[in-house]
Amino acid sequence: MTYKAPIRDMSFVLNEVFEADKVWSSLAGLEGMVDVETADAILAECGKIASEVLAPLNREGDEVGSTFNNGEVTAAPGFKEAYQTYVDAGLNGLGGNPNYEGMGMPKMLVAQVEEMVQGANMAFGLAPMLTAGACLSINAHGSDELKEKYLPNMYSGVWSGAMDLTEPHAGTDLGIIRTKAEPNSDGSYNVSGTKIFITWGEHDMAENIIHLVLAKLPDAPAGPKGISLFLVPKFLVNEDGSLGERNDMSCGSIEHKMGIKGSATCVMNFDNAKGWLVGEENKGLACMFTMMNYERLGVGIQGLGVAEASYQAAVDYALERTQSRAPTGAVAKDKAADPIVVHPDVRRMLMTMRAFNEGGRAFSTYVAKWLDTAKFTDNADQGKHAEAMLALLTPVAKAFMSDIALECAIAGQQVFGGHGFIREWGQEQHVRDIRITQIYEGTNGIQALDLMGRKIAANNGAFFRLFEQDVNDFIASQKGVDGISEFIEPLQAVMTNLAELTQWVIERAQTNPNEIGAASVEYLHAFGYCAYAFMWARMAAVALPKASEPFYQAKLSTARFYFQRLLPRFDGLSGSVKGGSESLFELDAESFLTA
């Protein structure tokens, strides 16, 4: 498979739309850490690795996959060497704490790196993604001793990380987990239990694997308030930092999956494995949620990256494949037929992919900006504002971006026609790989419930009004700008409609608790379409003064397509939300059974 890192568009989003250098220089915690030249150099290096090292391994990773033999997992062919190339480039600790040998780069930059890695080879990209998530939790909640002992080797990639949450009977409802942790006299704990769906829980790419495991203490309260988090290494670490004996944990098997076959999805068994408490007793979920905003945005970025790869392949194919003549007459007169890019329906699919991918790239960067603000500001009010925006936007980033990514990959497959259904062309792998992004890190239905229930209805729309104000401030800033009205007017209309829809659901939920769940998925999508309209209006505002240049003219053309052909979906979603919950419950449960 081939993949070309979209660095020009990433630079546009970072430097022109969001003026990242101004954002970074305004945040005390980023002072002197990064500038445009450094960011460009990092993007260029990652783009080269993504295109030349990771993408060529994607297909074989899918066809051969990770292999399991007597408790040992061997990564897919070439993955171990590619991992070493990746960590040697310093990319593994890009966002890590500089006090422990991380690079301390902002998420606005890291998000672009993540997109390239995931787009080139999503199965591989899960390994550094899981390590970064584990590092976030250790850095935020671990003791100084744990941070000093584990973070430097994790940031360097000598050791990797894994997150162990799910059990065979406990997925979304982690309050019913059975994994136990018994305290020892030396301050450690013996952890016992079984965890499933553990991405890269076992492999041969790194010298050690540091598991963060949710478990319950003997006297823990029932439910989610009784969960603690423990650091459990594959190999115990001696006082001098060298590796000691293997811990009492093992991989029982790896899953046979629909997609991301290059990554190992493990069943992990802990049998009095020695571990150490991260954070406070019975506060394990809070420790995990520290990394959730990052990980859930990361999952949305995964979908975006793979959808971009699908788009690139579809464009190449549409320019080369010849079938029939253009409706307006022959274009390639020296050939028996025209390239399929001349056909309106093929254009519709390609433009849909392009509009969603470029809108998603801007939106992921917008969310990353709030992550950077929350993390690096020294202004308490600014930090509180950023945290509220993150609470609101994170479920949208995870669910809307991944749902739309699957739509894009299916469109890319459709451009290929019958060839899209055949393995050798690669498009069917993109469809299979993206599918998991709608499921893990909290299914998209759960994300929608989180948005509608916790982030909107629970605070009577307070978080929503912050987003609404951000959009309205931008609209006000464009007053009197020549040519911008074709983008501002529909943005203003959809923002007004979304505000009205939000209030409608809040009011209905006060008398019928089913309304939140009934509205949630369609509402999240309606929010997503409005958010992407905001992004496209911002991009159009930058492109308008430079419209004579081809890159910016293409931006304006794609913006017009989004507003004219995709944003109208909002109206249907709004109508569905206002259809209410009653029809969902007319059938009794037994009526779902077929004769």
Q: Which residues belong to the active site?
A: 441
Q: Angle at CA 410, nearest 5°, toward 403 and 494?
A: 45
Residue whose tokens read 């998530």: 133
Buried b / exposed e across 162-177, counting CB within 10 Å, b at 16+?
bbbbbbeebbeebeeb
- Yes or no: say if 177 and 194 are a contact pair by the CB < 8 Å rule: no
CA distances from 534 to 42, 272, 363, 407, 562 (A): 28, 52, 9, 21, 11
CA-CA distance, 490 to 560, in Å (whole number)? 11
- Yes or no: say if 276 and 403 are a contact pair by the CB < 8 Å rule: no
H-run or E-run covering 588: none
* Spatial CA neighbour of 273 closest among 179, 196, 148: 179
CA-CA distance, 300 to 286, in Å (whole number)? 22
Alpha helices, DSSP H, located in 50-106:
58-64, 79-88
- Yes or no: say if 449 and 520 are a contact pair by the CB < 8 Å rule: yes
- Yes or no: say if 496 and 570 are a contact pair by the CB < 8 Å rule: no
Buried b / exposed e across 385-420, counting CB within 10 Å, b at 16+?
bbbbbbbbbbbbbbbbbbbbbbebbbbbbebbeeeb
Phi, psi of 367 (to 5 degrees): -65, -40
- Yes or no: say if 328 and 258 are a contact pair by the CB < 8 Å rule: no
Q: What is the DSSP letter of 434?
A: H
Torsion angle of alpha carbons 319, 322, 324, 330, nearest 10°?
60
CA-CA distance, 272 to 276, in Å (whole number)? 12
Q: What is the DSSP letter of 188?
A: -
- Provide the pairing of β-strand 243-246 with 159-164: unpaired
Query: What are the tokens at 119?
Result: 């787009």
CA-CA distance, 576 to 507, in Å (whole number)? 17
Q: Angle at CA 549, nearest 5°, toward 329 and 493?
A: 85
Q: DSSP for 202-261, please give it.
A: S-SSSSEEEEEEEEB-TTPPSGGGG-EEEEEESEEE-TTS-EEEEPSEEEEEE---SS-T
- Yes or no: say if 495 and 502 are a contact pair by the CB < 8 Å rule: no
